[in-house]
């Protein structure tokens, strides 16, 4: 577990926040303007906006922290990052399908990872200017206002977001659940647990570090959990940066959500 260093983390947070704002402006220049779209080898889409934002962020962030490693969805990975004490973990546009469809639920997700865990995070939803931030041990905030989840409350009527088919099956077992629909950006889905708009968010298997690192820190600093079905915390900067199915929840609901999701795994 990394040891909190508020001064250094604060400097990195200022850098990430500035970079996210500028990257958001670049992305908005393409949004709803029919950007060029290609299909990657894994059949997921990528747009010219993803690539432009990725280039900007890599130039901007690595110029300021040349000793940090780099892991991004739109940059070819290499093992150099494994030897770095700290690295940037970046999703230039999380929720690309939503971006292409012209809906608001996409984000720019930036994190610094140290010793296998995120220690600094900035997550921007450019269409509304909503900025989530967090530092290890320094708390989480939304637009500068501290985020702290309530510790009480049961699971009856829990608001849950995730893949539509899974939500349908879960509601058959738990009729009181209130599905919130599918949120294109997984990072935003998790952050919405941190800001209290939903109670549980589900991520199917094979999410990548860049999808979740920033949101993980924001949620944990707000008093929530992001865990796999065994209850284990998520590790980052491994040779293969993918993950099993994950649950984000307000802390009082984590065990119940694990049990509920485990029956459908």
Determine the 3-state secondary structure of 212 from DSSP: helix
CA dihedral over 22, 131, 202, 176, signed as positive or negative: negative
> H helices within 223-264, ranges in order?
254-262
Going from the C-alpha of 233 to that of each of 135, 188, 191, 213, 247, the distances in angstroms are 17, 19, 17, 12, 10
**pLDDT tens for each residue of 146-174:** 999 987 777 889 999 998 888 888 888 88
Q: Single out the residue of 7, 197, 32 nearest to residue 102, CA to CA.
A: 32
So what's the pLDDT on residue 150? 81
Across residues 67-94, what is the average pLDDT? Answer: 96
Across residues 46-51, what is the average pLDDT? Answer: 98
**pLDDT tens for each residue of 168-198:** 888 888 899 999 878 999 999 999 999 999 9
pLDDT at 233 exceeding the cut of 80: yes
Ranges of beta strands (E only) in the chain are 37-39, 45-47, 69-72, 86-94, 107-114, 117-125, 130-135, 139-142, 145-147, 159-161, 178-179, 200-203, 224-228, 246-250
So what's the pLDDT on residue 135? 98
> Residue 220: which residues within 8 A CB-CB, separation 6 or more?
134, 226
Burial annotation 210-248 (CB, 10 A radius, 16+ → b, else e): bbbbbbbbbbbbbbbbbbbbeeeebebbeeebebebbbb
> Residue 126: which residues within 8 A CB-CB, separation 6 or more?
24, 25, 27, 28, 31, 106, 107, 108
Q: Are 201 and 149 in contact, with CB atoms under 8 Å apart?
A: no
On average, the pLDDT of the chain sits at: 93
Q: In this prediction, what percent of the chain has a pLDDT beyond 90? A: 80
- Top pLDDT among 168 and 220 is at 220
Tokens of 234: 């998520």
So what's the pLDDT on residue 152? 72
So what's the pLDDT on residue 193? 97
pLDDT at 133 exceeding the cut of 70: yes
pTM of the model: 0.95
Angle at 53 between CA 67 and CA 193, to 5 degrees: 90
Across residues 113-123, what is the average pLDDT? Answer: 97
Rounded distance, CA 60 to CA 13, Å?
Answer: 14
pLDDT at 209 exceeding the cut of 70: yes
Confidence of residue 228 (pLDDT cuts 50, 70, 90): very high
């Amino acid at each position: 577990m990394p040891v909190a260093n508020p001064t250094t983390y604060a400097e990195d947070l200022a850098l990430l926040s500035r970079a996210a704002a500028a990257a958001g402006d670049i992305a908005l220049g393409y949004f709803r303007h029919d950007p060029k779209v290609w299909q990657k080898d894994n059949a997921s889409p990528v747009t010219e906006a993803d690539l432009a934002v990725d280039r900007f962020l890599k130039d901007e962030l690595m110029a300021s922290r040349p000793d940090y490693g780099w892991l991004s969805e739109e940059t070819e990975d290499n093992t150099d990052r494994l030897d770095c004490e700290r690295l940037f973990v970046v999703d230039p546009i999380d929720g690309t399908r939503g971006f292409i469809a012209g809906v608001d639920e996409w984000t720019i997700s930036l994190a610094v990872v140290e010793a296998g865990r995120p220690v600094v995070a900035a997550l921007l939803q450019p269409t509304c200017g909503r900025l989530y931030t967090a530092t290890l041990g320094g708390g989480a905030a939304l637009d500068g206002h501290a985020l702290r989840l309530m510790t009480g409350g049961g699971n009856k009527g829990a608001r849950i977001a995730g893949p539509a088919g899974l939500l349908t099956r879960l509601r058959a077992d738990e009729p009181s659940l209130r599905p919130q629909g599918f949120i294109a950006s997984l990072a935003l889905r998790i952050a919405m647990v941190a800001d209290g708009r939903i109670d549980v968010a589900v991520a199917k298997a094979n999410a990548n570090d860049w999808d979740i690192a920033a949101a993980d820190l924001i949620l944990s600093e707000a008093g929530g959990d992001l865990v796999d079905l065994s209850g284990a915390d998520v590790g980052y900067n491994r040779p293969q940066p993918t993950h099993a199915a994950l649950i984000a929840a307000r802390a009082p609901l984590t065990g119940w959500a694990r049990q509920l999701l485990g029956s459908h795994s």
